[in-house]
């Protein structure tokens, strides 16, 4: 070993000193990754979750109803995937709930509890997803064994004329 070459320990120490001198640059790089990574994360999430290209997907799965102390409680979740080119300002659903003797009973054998419009206001940008849930409770005229919920999409508000669905 010659006198002109630094020992290995000094070489490693000088590398760490150089890296620590540039820590503000590392912080700036981290901020850039976080800011630029968000659209990439949303795009990846949309690719995995399967958006509807050129349209809006409204998922009403997971609606449930329960009885408790002579009252019924409804949980009405809505998931909106905006694959359109314009922002979605909300959706409107028609909701009907029934008290049925069993899960397999025809609707004609059930007693209708409610029928109402569920408005879901939102601001969902193109390529984004939003979820919300509404909880409703009430007193039925007669307590049934099973609560059945049906929901139909009525309209999607997106700044253009309302897109009505039947």
Does residue 136 register a pLDDT over 80?
Answer: yes
Q: What is the model's pLDDT at position 119?
A: 92
pLDDT at 17: 78
Cα(152)–Cα(91) distance, integer angstroms: 11
The topology under which CATH files domain 56-164 is Immunoglobulin-like (2.60.40)
Instruction: Check whether 2 has a pLDDT greater than 80.
Output: no
Domain spans in the chain, listed from the N-terminal domain onward: 8-49, 56-164
Side by side, the strands of the sheet bearing 163-164 are: 111-124, 88-100, 146-157, 163-164
**Distance (Å, whole) CA 64 – CA 73:** 8
Question: Which of residues 21 and 137 earns the better pLDDT score?
Answer: 137
The pLDDT of residue 124 is above 70 = yes
């Amino acid at each position: 070993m010659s006198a002109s070459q630094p020992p290995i320990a000094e070489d490693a120490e000088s590398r760490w000193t150089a890296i620590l001198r540039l820590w503000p640059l590392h912080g700036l790089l981290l901020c850039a990754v976080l800011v630029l990574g968000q659209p990439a994360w949303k795009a990846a999430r949309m690719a995995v979750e399967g958006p509807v290209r050129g349209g809006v997907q409204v998922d009403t799965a997971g609606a449930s109803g329960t009885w408790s102390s002579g009252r019924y409680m409804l949980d009405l979740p809505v998931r909106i995937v905006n694959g359109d080119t314009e922002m979605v300002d909300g959706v409107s659903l028609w909701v009907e709930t029934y008290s049925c003797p069993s899960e397999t009973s025809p609707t004609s054998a059930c007693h209708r509890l409610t029928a109402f419009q569920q408005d879901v206001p939102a601001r969902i940008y193109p390529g984004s997803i939003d979820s919300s849930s509404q909880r409703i409770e009430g007193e039925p005229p007669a307590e049934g064994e099973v609560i059945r919920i049906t929901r139909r999409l009525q309209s999607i508000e997106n700044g253009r004329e309302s897109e009505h669905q039947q």
